Chain A
Amino acid sequence: SSQLSSLPLQILLYVNGIYYIFYFLATLAMIIYKSQVFSYPDDLLASDLAVLFLMGILEVPRLYLGFKGNLTEAEAPLGLSLGLTVGSVVLCVYLLLWQTYVLWADVLLSAVLLSAYGLESGLKVTAIAAFVS
């Protein structure tokens, strides 16, 4: 067939978008819970919240470029989306390992998100290879 757009990538991007909304709200709620229950100094709280919001800001263009690149079968937006994914992965690893308090729920959510990012990156690379050739 002449269709080069990757269906699994499209499904994954869609599911990733929904999951990310849940991840963002859950992590924000847990940070609020931690600040009430544990002793959370203000500077550390500020840095954790900054990382979370930065990740949220990055996610929007990342997903948009991914959708656009896959549907128009263009490799440039998809490549840009891949770059932004690397940034998101770094921020997610921060929330998994270097947050002030890492709860077990944090570990679960971040692990799922990281695996989604990993799978998505693999599919993007395959799609770019298909579009270029």
Chain B
Amino acid sequence: PGDTRDAARVRSAPAPVTDVARLCVCDLLVAQCDVNCCCDPDCSAEDFSLFTTCSVPVVIGDRQLCSQKAAVYSLDVEANPPERIFKLIDQVNPSIFCIHATNYKQALYLKTPEIPTPENFDQLLEKYGGASFRTEPDSWDLDTDVQNPPEANETSRYEYGAPVQTEDAFLRLPSPVVSSWCSDANPAGFLVNQATKCIRSVSVEKCDSIQALSMLFYINSSILAVPKSSQMVNITVQSIVVQSVNGMRTLLSSSDVLRLPMVLDELCINAVLGVKYHITHIDMGEIIEAAAAFVLGAISKEELSIEQSFEISFTQENTQPVALSGNPGYVVGLPVRAGFQPQGYPFPAAFLNKHSQLTILHSTSTQDCLAAQGARAPVLFGYNMISGCKLRITAAMKCQPLAQTLLDVLKGQSFPEYVASFGNSQAQDVLDWVPITQLHISEQMISYTLQSSCQIPVSLGIEVKWTKYGSLVNPQARIVNVTATITTTTLKQLPSGRERIIPITSSVVFTDISAPAEPSYKAWPTINIKLPFDFFYPFV
């Protein structure tokens, strides 16, 4: 009896409610009164007296019928207390093309969906069970034995977002799916620059058998130049950087030797920690070159998982892409472009090397200034930043080298001299680059001596003044002035054995110095009528 009852219940969906007097779309709370919902049956007369308007004034069926019932709700605010008025009226559609009658029952109502039963379940699953309801699902098959019927003779080209195909399946860019664990089934999309980071579980004993840790896994299958063709492009190894256990990276001089992971002294060396693919293509959607830059590292026995990072970038042949930070005004959040001026020409700094960007010190978890080797963050337009570290001074430290080290820590290896005024300033336009003004302020105590004691920099403040430029309707951000202020303080000689901790800070502040806008109008057109010289010939 339980089964048949369930079966009977499943077979029919509840009948749709079509009585306008009982329909109420604003009745969302069960057994509670919804505010300003005049059709809510849970509301009492006291609730109605608190309403201000009716959110649903009319409940009506299909307006195209010639005559139909409509439930009209309104609030009578004149009465004291305000009360709700409910009227059931016959709404007449005056149009001559109103529907007088219909003999097709589904015309005016939504179709009730099919209830799955054991008989039609398979058919419904086939129709609606996939990710999309198309008639021909495009299945991406990894199995090369299944031959796709060859298409017409025309060779297709890669389109934006199309998976980059390789000999066996597609170019993989492992990425986290759902959780942070790496999934190798993520294809790289053509012209989609991606950077992903994911975690892979490893074990030192099996490190030479885990495929994803070996360089070969990422370069062994060649990329197809065009989809479904036989033209192959081999993936070359562009560079190999070896990362040591303490985090220091060295670039290997010879990158043609394939280094496979192996176990050495309880460490697994030559494990792939990061891959950067650079794909070069021509403008017709064809790939002509592919290169991969690897970061190899060592895994110790205690580590059960490592973080791998993957990146892919596409460049067109014979072009040097320079990422613009705005066109023409700076866009908030994009890096401020900076550069140097060797021999009268500023160079844009972002030509595939990040060393001449305007950067500030990046705070690290250790907070030790002398150990924060090279951790820098790019200065993003519009984002005020402050960072810092702690400097531990002992008696043994010499002032001059310490000052130089701190200057390097604050300013970075190559502090630029010029900043681009617009987001798209070109290298050749000398006037579009703003020089960075460097100021030195020394916090000297006045009572102190004339003996020139050594000064160490303790803070770097970069102030970027920008203005709104261009039309009132679409103002563009333009950098007008950049000032880098180094504050130095005297290093007092410490008695031996004592040590002192000084905070070192660096900050970037963006100030808007736009002058108030003055709207200007185009001149009114003037009518300039003059009769020609000989208009009244021959009378004059």
Could you list which residues of chain A lie within 8 angstroms of chain B, going by C-beta atoms?
A: 30, 33, 38-39, 41, 44, 97-108
A-side contacts of B99, CB under 8 Å: 101-103
Surface stretch bound by A, among B100-108, B187-195, B305-313, B526-534: B100-108
The answer to whether A104 touches B103 (Cβ under 8 A) is: no
The answer to whether A100 touches B102 (Cβ under 8 A) is: yes
Could you list which residues of chain B lie within 8 angstroms of chain A, going by C-beta atoms?
A: 66, 95-104, 106-107
A-side contacts of B106, CB under 8 Å: 39
Query: Can you list 21 residue pairs at the A/B interface with Cβ under 8 Å?
Result: A33-B97, A38-B107, A39-B107, A41-B104, A44-B104, A98-B103, A100-B102, A100-B103, A101-B102, A102-B101, A102-B103, A103-B96, A103-B97, A103-B98, A103-B99, A103-B100, A104-B96, A105-B97, A106-B100, A107-B100, A108-B96
B-side contacts of A105, CB under 8 Å: 96-97
A34, chain B: closest CB distance, angstroms: 9
Q: How far, in whole Å, are A97 and B103 apart by their CA atoms in the complex? A: 8
7 more A-B contacts (CB under 8 A) besides A44-B104, A103-B98? A38-B107, A100-B102, A101-B104, A103-B96, A103-B100, A105-B96, A106-B100
Who on chain A is nearest to B66 by CB? A104
The answer to whether A104 touches B104 (Cβ under 8 A) is: no
Closest 10 CB pairs of A and B: A102-B101, A102-B100, A100-B104, A105-B96, A104-B100, A103-B97, A104-B98, A101-B102, A107-B100, A104-B96
Q: How far, in whole Å, are A80 and B102 apart by their CA atoms in the complex? A: 34
A-side contacts of B102, CB under 8 Å: 100-102
A-B pair count, CB < 8 Å, reads 39
B-side contacts of A106, CB under 8 Å: 100
Q: How far, in whole Å, are A99 and B98 apart by their CA atoms in the complex? A: 14
A49, chain B: closest CB distance, angstroms: 15
Q: How far, in whole Å, are A15 and B461 apart by their CA atoms in the complex? A: 97
A-side contacts of B95, CB under 8 Å: 104
A54, chain B: closest CB distance, angstroms: 18
Q: How far, in whole Å, are A44 and B66 apart by their CA atoms in the complex? A: 22
Q: How far, in whole Å, are A104 and B93 apart by their CA atoms in the complex? A: 10
B-side contacts of A100, CB under 8 Å: 102-104, 107
Q: How far, in whole Å, are A105 and B97 apart by their CA atoms in the complex? A: 6
Q: How far, in whole Å, are A100 and B99 apart by their CA atoms in the complex? A: 10
Q: How far, in whole Å, are A97 and B101 apart by their CA atoms in the complex? A: 8
A-side contacts of B101, CB under 8 Å: 97, 102
Q: How far, in whole Å, are A4 and B66 apart by their CA atoms in the complex? A: 47
Selected contact of B103 from candidates A30, A99, A103, A107, CB within 8 Å: A99
B94, chain A: closest CB distance, angstroms: 9
Q: How far, in whole Å, are A102 and B106 apart by their CA atoms in the complex? A: 15
Who on chain A is nearest to B98 by CB? A104
Q: How far, in whole Å, are A108 and B98 apart by their CA atoms in the complex? A: 12
A-side contacts of B96, CB under 8 Å: 103-105, 108
Centre residue among A103, A105, A106 by max chain B CB count within 10 A: A103
A-side contacts of B100, CB under 8 Å: 102-104, 106-107
Who on chain A is nearest to B106 by CB? A39
B-side contacts of A103, CB under 8 Å: 96-100
A118, chain B: closest CB distance, angstroms: 21
A-side contacts of B103, CB under 8 Å: 98-100, 102
A-side contacts of B107, CB under 8 Å: 38-39, 100-101
Who on chain A is nearest to B102 by CB? A101
A12, chain B: closest CB distance, angstroms: 26
Who on chain A is nearest to B95 by CB? A104
Q: How far, in whole Å, are A102 and B100 apart by their CA atoms in the complex? A: 5
A35, chain B: closest CB distance, angstroms: 12
Q: How far, in whole Å, are A98 and B102 apart by their CA atoms in the complex? A: 8
B349, chain A: closest CB distance, angstroms: 60
Q: How far, in whole Å, are A106 and B100 apart by their CA atoms in the complex? A: 9
Q: How far, in whole Å, are A102 and B101 apart by their CA atoms in the complex? A: 5
A-side contacts of B97, CB under 8 Å: 30, 33, 103-105
Q: How far, in whole Å, are A56 and B102 apart by their CA atoms in the complex? A: 23
Q: How far, in whole Å, are A104 and B98 apart by their CA atoms in the complex? A: 6
Who on chain B is nearest to A33 by CB? B97
